Structure 1
Amino acid sequence: MAQTRPYYAEKGLSAAFYDTVTAADRRLEGDLDVYARLAPPGGTILELGVGTGRLAIALAEKGFRVTGVDIAPAMLAQAQAKLAELPSHVAGRIELKRGDMTAIDLGRTFDLVICPYFTLAHVPRGMAWKNTFLTAAKHLKPGGLAAFHLPLAEIMRLPGPDNPEAPVLDEPTPSGGRLQLFVLQREFREEVGRLDQVLEYVELDARGGVLRRSAERLTYYLTDPEPLAAPAGLAVDREPVPLGGVGEIHVFLKA
């Protein structure tokens, strides 16, 4: 197998085709409405893990002011390019910053902090989770909410596909070709709550020829978030909100 890159790496395809994959993932449907209901109309939102701006742009279109933070330059570059195509009154409600959600300090507070699409699960449970909850609490106004989308344990425990040579995703690309996604490896370690996967992205041209391929390692971590959020002053606000049958949005209140 070719060299395995980290997920969302600069030369990988997971970042380049992030929008293709998320658009095809029907299990994300409804997350925008969940987050929009957690903030006051026209309120301020901090998005940890803004990616290519999928949610930030949609929230700005609803009248919210959004600051998006991401650690991956390849993702932020796409988000910035999208902003340049937006109407000025929408783009003016969005600010993008590169930063690490476990350590960033913007020096201001927001009505709502969101950490969508399993972003928290990308970092090791323990101190990285505690520090992310501290970041959320530090940037929240009193009475503000923080929402974290986490995968379900039973989904993480699922085995890989029976046939690793069959794509788990096959979607058209903006250039007229296709994107195929293969699961080459998948292993869940129960004792540490860690799912390791190697996914291969293959970009095909209009005739089915391979243009690019990239094997990338995607790791998710999972544990009970409540004990790690509590030291930051975040208390559970409600029952987790189910989303798409594969995850839940955990909502916390800053007293």
Structure 2
Amino acid sequence: MATARPYYAEKGLSAAFYDTVTAADARLAGDLDIYAGLAPPGGTILELGAGTGRLTFGLAERGFSVMGVDIAPAMLAQASAKRAELAPEVAARVELKRGDMTALDLKRTFDLVICPYFTLAHVPRGAAWKNTFATASRHLKSGGLAAFHLPLLEIMRMPGPPDPSQPVLDQPAPSGGRLVLYVRERSFREDVGRMDQVMEYVEKDARGAVLRSSLERQVFYYTDPEPLAAGERLTVDRPPIPLGGVGEIYVFLKA
């Protein structure tokens, strides 16, 4: 496959245009309501993979106290800038921290732990998944819930677009130009449950001239999460919640 930098890398465009892409993704519609419905009113929430704070701030605006953790400095920098613009009473309910969800220990517990927008799928199945479930269990109060949004396996198996030269996204960019997104390559390995695709981000000015571009490798992994969760004292709380036709939110209970 083509040489490409990792997704959400410091100099890539996937982090810079994260908000543009997620705002255009109708398949995420309703996820904030789902997560808010899993925590008690005014409760505490730990978000693993907070990104630029889309859910972190949305949940804080609904009265929850939220700790948002992410491993990517470029994402947290944007989240911190947006936090500074929040109403003081909302900002006071938000904490942001850089951390690795596979090895996190905050020495505190929460009413709800969420791992949204395919965050768990970004790390290899096996030890990394097991360790992330251990992190969720370690940070949950007894009776608390943990929610993980995972892609559907049949979607991961799908081939890429028939014509890689045709964009899969073309949206206004904050600069006044356009963000154009292509899927240049995609493959799936059944033996390791891994989807590997190369995306190209292209930013154009108002006249259509290319300002900058970035090839970035996006990788998703999948395996049955239930046995790994059970190994960390997390039991299935309800059937997976469908979201957007491309994923499901698995909800587990810590007894």
Q: TM-score range by the shorter chain?
A: over 0.9
How many residue pairs were aligned? Answer: 255
Q: Is the 8 A contact 2:159 2:186 kept in 1?
A: yes
Cα distance in 1 for partners of 2:119, 2:47 equals 10
Determine the structure 1 residue equivalent to 2:252.
Answer: 252
Find out whether 1:71 has 2:57 as its counterpart. no
Determine the structure 1 residue equivalent to 2:21.
Answer: 21
Determine the structure 2 residue equivalent to 1:42.
Answer: 42
How do 1:107-186 residues align onto structure 2 when only pairs under 5 Å count? 107-186=107-186
- Tell me the SS of whatever aligns to 1:191: coil
1:175-211 CA distance string (max 9 Å, x none): 1100000001100111111000000000000000000
- Tell me the SS of whatever aligns to 1:59: helix
Cα distance in 1 for partners of 2:122, 2:149 equals 11
Cα distance in 2 for partners of 1:213, 1:175 equals 14
Cα distance in 2 for partners of 1:92, 1:175 equals 30
How do 1:84-99 residues align onto structure 2 when only pairs under 5 Å count? 84-99=84-99
User: How far 1:168 moved relative to its partner?
Assistant: 0.3
- Tell me the SS of whatever aligns to 1:192: coil
Cα distance in 2 for partners of 1:251, 1:4 equals 34
Q: Unaligned 5+ residue runs, structure 1?
A: none
Cα distance in 2 for partners of 1:101, 1:2 equals 29
1:6-45 CA distance string (max 9 Å, x none): 0000000000000000000000000000000000000000
- Tell me the SS of whatever aligns to 1:107: coil
User: How far 1:217 moved relative to its partner?
Assistant: 0.3
How do 1:189-200 residues align onto structure 2 when only pairs under 5 Å count? 189-200=189-200
Cα distance in 2 for partners of 1:27, 1:128 equals 26
Determine the structure 1 residue equivalent to 2:82.
Answer: 82
Q: Is the 8 A contact 2:121 2:151 kept in 1?
A: yes
Cα distance in 2 for partners of 1:157, 1:133 equals 25
Sequence identity percentage:
77
User: How far 1:231 moved relative to its partner?
Assistant: 1.1
Cα distance in 2 for partners of 1:196, 1:159 equals 11
Root-mean-square deviation (Å): 0.9
User: How far 1:2 moved relative to its partner?
Assistant: 7.7
1:90-139 CA distance string (max 9 Å, x none): 01100000000000100000000000000000000000000000000000
Moved over 4 A (4+): none
Cα distance in 1 for partners of 2:2, 2:152 equals 31
- Tell me the SS of whatever aligns to 2:180: strand
Cα distance in 2 for partners of 1:22, 1:48 equals 17
User: How far 1:4 moved relative to its partner?
Assistant: 1.0
- Tell me the SS of whatever aligns to 2:41: coil
User: How far 1:3 moved relative to its partner?
Assistant: 4.6
Cα distance in 2 for partners of 1:212, 1:148 equals 34
- Tell me the SS of whatever aligns to 2:191: helix
The amino acid of 1:202's aligned partner reads V
Cα distance in 2 for partners of 1:216, 1:159 equals 18
Cα distance in 1 for partners of 2:78, 2:40 equals 28
TM-score by length of 1: 0.99
TM-score by length of 2: 0.99
Determine the structure 2 residue equivalent to 1:61.
Answer: 61
